[in-house]
Structure 1
């Protein structure tokens, strides 16, 4: 591979933060754009979700030929969906395989999500994860499982079976810590069973912008009831601060969990830490800088997965400083959380709400995706 040009994206990589793209489509994989980004920008991985595939399959003709052939074979909607997405993911995995090999399994991954309809069901989630792992049949595949309380055991079991897992929909530090400890337990189980751990990989997808969207809305409601000008100003100053503070505290936990004698014993056997992956990094508030959640969350042993528009924005004008901001002034992050609590924002209620809402939104996207496949099937069957 040629050396990628020096851009904010490659500067991130020099600071040990990997750059993945939160996007997938057949055209993206087959017509050279993904290969170009790997070659020119040093792109290191990709993620997908039902919303992304619903747009790709439901709003283009790129899949019509394959769908028509599957209809002729008598395939039902579920089988058509699986065949289409597995084909795309496998194509992307093959393009990223040199990255995986070159980085000794640190990067080069592409994620495929289990059905969000199973987000509260341990056994079915574990079964589907294993099914997709077998279908993809690539060492650089990752299976996405939501980090709900019910699915944490499925995450641990899947990792113990040797699957690579991307834990998604993490909003709270407590939920992140639960899946990080599940990862370590899974590695210990493999060691105790005499199985290797040097090729088991996992990331913990910690959602960012949705935190600020929810907290800012709650602050606005509190501000509307406040009559004191000074108090209003202090509340206004808290807006846009919660997401970054929450992420910094999660990273502080990462540093504690993946250090010390217990972790070092696993690392000596080849274990890699379960990196934090910053998800939902596109800003939802247009008054915030469009690269805010990348600029402020740069730090070693992390991943930033960016939607295409945010990727291009950061490539163009992202701000990368020599001293990673993720590790700077963690005490101030704790102060932000304390100030939010003092203002009357129940942060546990915020993260509980966002998890429930995220599960529901992904489930709806998955229903819409199957609906799009069903519509294509009916149209092409005629």
Structure 2
């Protein structure tokens, strides 16, 4: 029987795993996901690393070792993270080099969440991490905050692969595409080749519905519960199609530039009333990525339905967002709030992680 997760790739979408730890790499489980499920990349974030490092003794020896020379606890963390990212990137090297070189096989490492509103600090750390990991198939994650836009453009202009994270709103997404294209133009103008640069824009889904669904219920729009995030994603894909078909883009494409693919993030269903594969099934389509937690991959393998769904119901998606607006719900305000909360959601586990590393260092 065909593997249902692998079938998604037939529709032009790449599945990346939204998880990393040492055990999954060393045990061969990650390799198995590549071989059997066709997983084509990995994403990480501060919360994922916090869970990996605090719930395992796999990192204890390195914490001691790196602690001898590192200036700060944060430096110790990045030494640990870089080691994992390098090991995962090496596993995905074959995926990176198959078919169209650089189309897939990326492993993402995020800058410190404390820098989310610091453009210069983000750009500086992105370059440091890029050099430290030293793998062509790594992506440095930068949040798509207002200050993040400048850091994204600067980083692309330096030839760094960027995964833009924490996107919720359509206007901000369009600004991110502009930062990417302008960064490519800057790199080209400086006399460099742009064919090796790759980027994704990570659009977060289920968190939108978690916040908006109670408001829909209040306004008598219960039929739209669980639909606004998917409608927004479909509209984002429309923006993607438009932006990456302009004359301006074609000039870059002629020089070897790759479009900045949309990546669907936060795709596990947070509402138990929804099917656990709901968000994955609704947004399968060409030239996109879906980063999926392990339990959602397992659920899809068991009972997911792979079909070309992304371009279906575009008129309905437009109508959904119009009805939300007509009900007096301000999506721009909601997406800004989600961005602010998203920064906080990464800051807290990062603080907890640094404290755990500190405590570990104090042990004999």
- What is the TM-score of this pair, normalised by structure 2? 0.97
Q: Shift of residue 73 of structure 1?
A: 5.2
CA distance in structure 1 between the partners assigned to 2:79 and 2:189 by the alignment: 37
Residue in 2 that maps onto 1:275:
261
Say if 2:70 and 2:76, in contact at 8 Å, map to a contact too.
no
Q: Measure, in 2, the Cα distance between the counterparts of 1:128 and 1:335.
A: 42
Provide the residue aligned with 1:21 in structure 2. Answer: 17
Equivalent residues of 1:156, 1:182 under 8 A apart: yes
2: CA distance between counterparts of 1:10 and 1:64? 36
In the alignment, what sits opposite 1:378? 362
Structure 1: distance between partners of 2:235 and 2:216: 21
Distance 1:247 1:318 in 2: 20
- Map 1:1-382 → 2, pairs under 5 A: 6-72=2-68, 76-102=72-98, 103-220=100-217, 222-223=218-219, 232=220, 235-321=221-307, 324-379=308-363, 382=364
* 3-state SS of paired residue (2:92): helix
Deviations 1:334-361 (A, max 9, x none): 1001111122211111101100100111
Separation in 2, partners of 1:249, 1:54: 33
List alignment gaps of at least 5 residues for structure 1: 224-231
Q: For 2:344, what is the secondary structure of its paired residue? A: helix
Take 2:80 and 2:214, find their aligned partners in 1: how far apart are those partners?
A: 39
Query: Residues of 1 paired with 2:187 and 2:63: CA distance?
Result: 40
Q: Distance in 2 between matches of 1:206 and 1:375?
A: 35
Structure 1: how far apart are the matches of 2:200 and 2:40?
Answer: 14
Q: Tell me the equivalent position of 1:227.
A: none
How many residue pairs get aligned? The number is: 363
TM-score (norm 1): 0.93
User: Are the equivalent residues in 2 in contact too, given 1:249–1:333 (CA < 8 A)?
Assistant: yes
Contact 1:203-1:277 at 8 Å conserved across structures: yes
CA distance, structure 2, for counterparts of residue 129 and residue 329 of structure 1:
38
> In the TM superposition, what is the alpha-carbon distance from 1:72 to its structure 2 partner?
4.9
| 1:236 CA displacement | 1.1
Provide the C-alpha distance between the structure 1 equivalents of 2:299 and 2:32, rounded to a whole number of angstroms: 17
How far apart are 1:319 and its partner, in Å? Answer: 0.9
Q: CA deviation at 1:78?
A: 2.2
Over residues 110-160 of structure 1, what are the superposed CA-to-partner deviations in whole Å (9 max), with x where a residue is unaligned?
000001101111100000000000100000010000000111011001001
Task: Give, in whole Å, the separation in 2 of the partners of 1:325 and 1:76.
Answer: 47
Structure 2 distance, partners of 1:355, 1:76, is: 28
CA distance in 1: counterparts of 2:67 and 2:14, whole angstroms:
40
Larger radius of gyration: 1
Structure 2 residue matching 1:319: 3-state secondary structure: coil
Q: Secondary structure at the match of 1:6?
A: coil
The alpha carbon displacement at 1:76 in A equals: 4.1
Which has the higher mean CA deviation after the structures are superposed, 143-152 or 73-82? 73-82
Task: Identify unmatched segments of 5+ residues in structure 2.
Answer: none
Hey, what does 1:228 align to over in structure 2?
A: none
Q: CA deviation at 1:70?
A: 2.9
SS in 1 for 2:341: helix
Deviation at 1:30, TM superposition (A): 1.4
More deviation in 343-352 or 289-298?
343-352
